[in-house]
Amino acid sequence: MKIIKGNYGKAIICDNMDEKYGLPSLKDKEFETCFTDFPYNVNFKGKSLGGIEYEDNKDNYKQFCEERYIELKRICNGLIIFCGNPNLWMWSDIEHPRDLIIHYKPNAQTMSSMAYCGKFDVIICYGKFNRRFNLNVIKENIKFQDVVKHPCPNDSILYETMISQLKPDSIIDPFLGSGTTAEACEKLGIKWLGIELMEEYIPDIEKRINNGIKRRKLNNTKSLRSL
């Protein structure tokens, strides 16, 4: 187990169902919102550009998702889950979402198994939120990140757009990956906790935490100059 700290939160490198450090160790309603990108189980196996072996093919996938969903529902008031378009019906079978958000990405070009969803992603919402999204369709082009270890890093601008609308006091991401949630929370000044299984992604997480810290400082400097 390793810990990577930022100004507003930390990333824990361990299995997210670890009894001592993972989801079971957290208190009921300890975080306001879960914001995470579950594995999609799209039968992909290969290497990232950074040479990391990556496989997205899990046995008992529904059980895998349901066990973590039960823990997250206990820990959080509301859940925002990037579920992967083919998995929408499976998630609806686990529990019918209270809402759906569509991420429309006009500049998406590939239809490979790692980016199969084409021009849009479905994002599902569970539980209670203090605020609602302004729209059920969020239009954001994909901005390709400069991280190289993780095979499919997400865009922090999309995360920041969504988090800024909800304005939660705290966020947990049990599938931190390259650290998108960490970067967005550091930029916005929101308490966060990330959990990631693979130590190989530590350089990405460190880089994105630092990016968020730098971007927040830059934004604060611009705000002071405008006074």
Which of 177, 123, 174, 180 is CA-nearest to residue 151?
A: 177
The Cα 164–Cα 166 span in angstroms is: 6
> Interior CA angle at 92 toward 87 and 94, to 5°?
95
Range of the domain at 127: 2-225
Amino acid of residue 104: Y
Which of 119, 117, 82 is CA-nearest to residue 104?
A: 119
Residue 157 burial (C-beta neighbours within 10 Å; 0-12, 13-18, 19+):
middle
Q: Which residues contact 173 (CB under 8 A, 6 or more apart)?
A: 34, 35, 36, 181, 182, 192, 193, 194, 195
Phi and psi at residue 69, to the nearest 5°: -60, -45
CATH number for position 185: 3.40.50.150
**In percent, how much of the chain has pLDDT > 70?**
88
For the segment 112-136, what is each residue's pLDDT rounded down to a tens digit? 444 445 688 899 999 999 888 877 8
User: Residue 167: how many CB atoms within 10 A of its CB?
Assistant: 13
Q: In the predicted model, is pLDDT for residue 144 greater than 80?
A: no
**In percent, how much of the chain has pLDDT > 90?**
64
Window from 35-39, 45-49, 135-139, 148-152 with minimum mean pLDDT: 45-49
For the segment 55-68, what is each residue's pLDDT rounded down to a tens digit? 778 889 999 999 99
Calculate mean pLDDT across residues 40-65: 81
Among the ranges 21-30, 40-49, 103-112, which has the highest mean pLDDT value?
A: 21-30
CA neighbours within 13 Å on the CB side: how many for 157?
10
What's the structural domain count of the chain? 1
Which of 194, 26, 36, 34 is CA-nearest to residue 129?
A: 34
